Structure 1
């Protein structure tokens, strides 16, 4: 079968409708419908069936969609060998994901890329942990994070590279009584007001651990996504918050203190679809992001 047919089935599985695939790939739904009919004639069996306003794959469609990554990965490996023969990776790599992670890692990675022939397109997205896996449909590399382990929830079938493991500290206003402590434990902070993140965002996991350790709920004054806004609210004395140690810009407006007694760190991870992970340019950018992460932690770059 044509690799384009396999990729269309994979895209349909990920996006749920021809209209969604058309919007994402800058094609028309009618052109995709024709391509789908051609694929079904070649297969000799139905590959999709109606599902509400969208489509879902039949068992045969699922089988062929699964094969898309295998075929695309093989082609990418051949292209990577050609890149090696030419002497340098090239092309465009689309990078998306966690704003604080990109802020910390991308400048260093760009320095390491130097005068390479790889161009980057960047899209910052602050998402719930389980939503980062879906973002690989639109990007070659998705920078995600997790507080549960090295592989974010829902990303088990993707190529995953740990870029940095970053402690989460408690941000405290400088005139707060806790600001004089060397470190904080759950019992020290459970009765304080908190600037929290939205539900299902990774940082909320740590607050839940504090609640579990102390057997009582925290007081969340508000839920905010953006770390810079969180930092401004803490500096204004609106409450405590969790902020990442390496990627929070140093400031005199608040104090960062280690939290002990409960796990309080996140993994920042690069996710890619298996076929895209085979591209030499994608491998190079992932490697340089990891080297930037090692430099952030003060490790030796090799």
Structure 2
């Protein structure tokens, strides 16, 4: 066996993780036919079948899965070598790809990027929007370097192998009502059971926020909420509260500091919280990634101090 090109190993690894040539093509920048050609050359170099037909698609053979496992090791080693060479110049430099929740991107990732531009001008930070359910697999594959993930206490997220979770921020989650709502006419905490007949808004099904709203209403109020509106954009949820009279539960980082059309109240039964984490791949970290993660953590400490 004489495998000569790490790019072909990357295509194989991507196929093992993503399952289809179309997904591999989107991730690598190849066309599906070009990705297929790369696999054909790799199979010729390996001397054994690496893929087989499965309906209209491809799946890896036993040999293909074995080689994909070793490909992950080789690709990670190559990344470590590239990092070591870059750092041998005694400069903090490199490219970082960061992904976060909308609120965390606005309040943490972007301010950290601005700070990095002043203190480490050789570091190229790229920020992208990606749902967390997709961001963590991309982090494992190496197409993303840092993710800010969240977790509500009632809906813990899985911890995929190979990823390191560093606690970042613990913030309160509060009830948001229209300012004109009868329950908003005092500053008293609101019992969940009194919200049984309200129209609710939350993030889309399958997200941690949707599960948190549903679980809170069931556990503390004894009812299934009328989750009539769904949006993964917290600003849209807030506008639904203002304009449509909906109610919702949102963490502090998503809330405006002063909005006369909104009433923000605690729940009478408990104090809901959301935890944020900086998530990176395990193993050696580049100086650039370590520096950026440090600035993100510093920004989170400022946010914690601001919200009390």
What TM-score, normalized by structure 1, do the two folds share?
A: 0.84
2:9 to 6, 16, 40: 6
Larger relative contact order (CA 8 Å, sep ≥ 6): 1
Tell me what 1:42 maps to. 45
Indicate whether 1:284 and 2:291 are aligned.
Answer: yes
| Structure 1 match to 2:190 | 184
CA separation of 1:154 and 1:18: change in aligned 2, threshold 3 A: farther
Count of residues in correspondence between the two structures: 296
- Give, in angstroms, the shift of residue 169 of structure 1: 1.0
SS in 2 for 1:217: coil
1:203 partner SS: helix
Distance change (3 Å), C-alpha of 1:298 and 1:111: farther
- Distance across 1 between alignment mates of 2:156 and 2:292: 19
From 246, 249, 260, give the equivalent of 1:242. Answer: 249
SS in 1 for 2:254: coil
Distance in 1 (CA, whole Å) between partners of 2:256 and 2:91 is: 35
Mind listing any 5+ residue stretches in structure 2 that lack a counterpart?
A: none
Alignment of 1:74-93 (within 5 A): 74-93=77-96
User: What residue number does 1:143 align with?
Assistant: 148
Where in structure 2 are the equivalents of 1:1-302 lying within 5 Å? 1=3, 2-113=5-116, 114-116=118-120, 117-125=122-130, 127=131, 130-136=133-139, 137=141, 138-148=143-153, 152-153=157-158, 155-179=160-184, 180-209=186-215, 210-236=217-243, 238-250=245-257, 251-259=259-267, 261=269, 264-274=272-282, 278-298=285-305
Cα 1:161–1:69 shift into 2, 3 Å? farther
Is the partner of 1:92 in helix, strand or coil? strand
**Taking structure 1 as reference, are residues 48 and 87 closer, same or farther at Cα in structure 2, changes over 3 Å only?**
same
Structure 1: gaps (5+ residues):
none
CA drift at 1:67:
2.6
Q: TM-score, normalised by structure 2?
A: 0.82
Q: Structure 1 residues 188, 221: closer, same or farther in 2, change over 3 A?
A: same
Partners of 2:78 and 2:167 in 1: how far apart?
Answer: 25
